[in-house]
């Protein structure tokens, strides 16, 4: 072989080696992450915004999202999780409709080595190794914030302040915790008294129906409505107006979520305060999924930052609201 040919062959070999060492030319396509997400349903304005945030962020982050709507049923969520396990998704996330009854299916996910992330609502399990992290609001604190607003608002009153409470879905974390936080603050305020408390299942229709029943039973004896979400408060506002009373004046209304509908009601003078519970969990969820797949350890609890919006701030805040 001529010397020039030898030099050329050595050069080709060296370039080839360099390409191999730098990874160029043999770079494998990065595997797309598949996330199975079981959503509760579409019971409220909040839930719709939550689903949208998850869908939009998954798309933006290039994550293959398999979304399943459980239509408020735990059995549907369990079926969806089993189907995600069968499909061998990379990560499972879900917003549990109720707190209890998840151990068996979560154990199946663990045995299949598929990590589970809880979003929005927590589960009540003895073994907390069944899920990796819980991303969402502090519902007890939301209940406390609602009650603190009321304590401040009624601080000069010595007469009884009668409250009716519209609870969220029976057995759900937000219903349990928002009640707990509220009661914790009012317990040593003897003039603040919960007259009636019933579930309105987080929906407008149920909120209206139950408020009608409260009004029928108590009439003008009701001074305050504490609703565990804005949708129930908005339904109740209709019932109060139909009963010839002025929501926001004859009956003070406190609710939770801070959706646009609540701001509209506040600007119309019909709702007094809403405690924020952000549904925009998509970015935190997708970043947790990516961190997990990159082998990072996640904190067990990722809490969402939130505020309180009294009606006086509504007009100023409304244009900034994203949900
Ligand atoms: O879990 C969050 C709660 O569920 C929201 O407050 C409510 O509106 C929703 O349906």
Nearest CA to ligand 1 atom 3: 174
Q: How much distance in Å is there from the Cα of 110 to the middle of ligand 1?
A: 27
Given this model, what pLDDT does residue 26 score? 45
Q: How far apart, in Å, do the first and last CA atoms of the chain sit?
A: 74
Could you give all domains of the chain from N- to C-terminal order, each with its CATH number? Answer: 33-137+279-304 (3.40.50.2300), 139-277 (3.40.50.2300)
Q: What is the pLDDT of residue 159?
A: 95
Spatial distance between the Cα atoms of 34 and 180, rounded to a whole number of angstroms: 37
Cα distances (angstroms) measured from residue 156 to each of 140, 153, 184? 26, 8, 20
- Burial of residue 124 (CB within 10 Å: 0-12, 13-18, 19+) is middle
Cα distances (Å, whole numbers) of residue 86 to 21, 81, 218: 38, 9, 53
Residues with CB under 6 A from ligand 1: 43-44, 46-47, 120-121, 174, 202, 229, 231, 256-257, 277
Query: Residue 25: what pLDDT?
Result: 45
| 38 CA from centroid of ligand 1 (Å) | 15
CA of 40 to the centre of ligand 1 (A): 10
pTM for the whole structure: 0.90
- What angle (nearest 5°) sits at the alpha carbon of residue 216, between those of residues 215 and 222? 30
Provide the token pair at 18. Answer: 């360099």
For residue 176, the model assigns a pLDDT of 98
The tens digit of pLDDT for each residue in 249-307 reads 999 999 999 999 999 999 999 999 999 999 999 999 999 999 999 999 999 999 998 99
- Ranges of residues in the chain with a pLDDT under 70 are 1-29
């Amino acid at each position: 072989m001529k010397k020039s040919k030898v030099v050329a062959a050595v050069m080709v070999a060296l370039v080839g080696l360099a390409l191999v060492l730098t990874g160029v030319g043999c770079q494998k396509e990065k595997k797309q992450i598949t996330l199975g997400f079981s959503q509760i349903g579409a019971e409220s304005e909040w839930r719709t915004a939550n689903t949208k945030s998850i869908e939009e962020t998954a798309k933006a982050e290039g994550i293959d999202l398999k979304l399943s709507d459980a239509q408020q049923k735990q059995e549907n969520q369990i079926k969806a999780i089993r189907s995600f396990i069968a499909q061998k998704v990379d990560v499972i996330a879900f917003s549990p409709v109720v707190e209890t009854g998840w151990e068996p299916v979560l154990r199946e996910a663990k045995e299949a080595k598929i990590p589970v992330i809880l979003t929005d609502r927590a589960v009540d399990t003895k073994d907390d190794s069944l899920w990796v992290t819980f991303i969402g609001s502090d519902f007890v604190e939301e209940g406390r914030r609602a009650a603190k607003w009321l304590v401040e608002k009624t601080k000069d009153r010595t007469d009884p302040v009668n409250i009716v409470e519209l609870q969220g879905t029976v057995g759900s974390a937000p219903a349990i915790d928002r009640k707990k936080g509220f009661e914790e603050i009012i317990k040593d305020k003897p003039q603040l008294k919960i007259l009636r408390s019933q579930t309105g299942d987080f929906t407008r229709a149920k909120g209206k129906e139950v408020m009608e029943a409260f009004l029928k039973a108590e009439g003008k004896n009701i001074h305050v409505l504490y609703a565990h979400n804005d949708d129930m408060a908005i339904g109740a506002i209709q019932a109060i107006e139909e009963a010839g009373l002025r929501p926001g004046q004859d009956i003070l209304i406190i609710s939770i979520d801070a959706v646009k509908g609540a701001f509209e009601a506040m600007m119309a003078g019909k709702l007094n305060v809403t405690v924020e519970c952000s549904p925009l969990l998509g970015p935190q969820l997708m970043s947790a999924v990516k961190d997990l797949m990159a082998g990072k350890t996640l904190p067990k609890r990722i809490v969402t930052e939130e505020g309180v919006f009294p009606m006086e701030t509504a007009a100023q805040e409304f244009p900034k609201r994203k949900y």
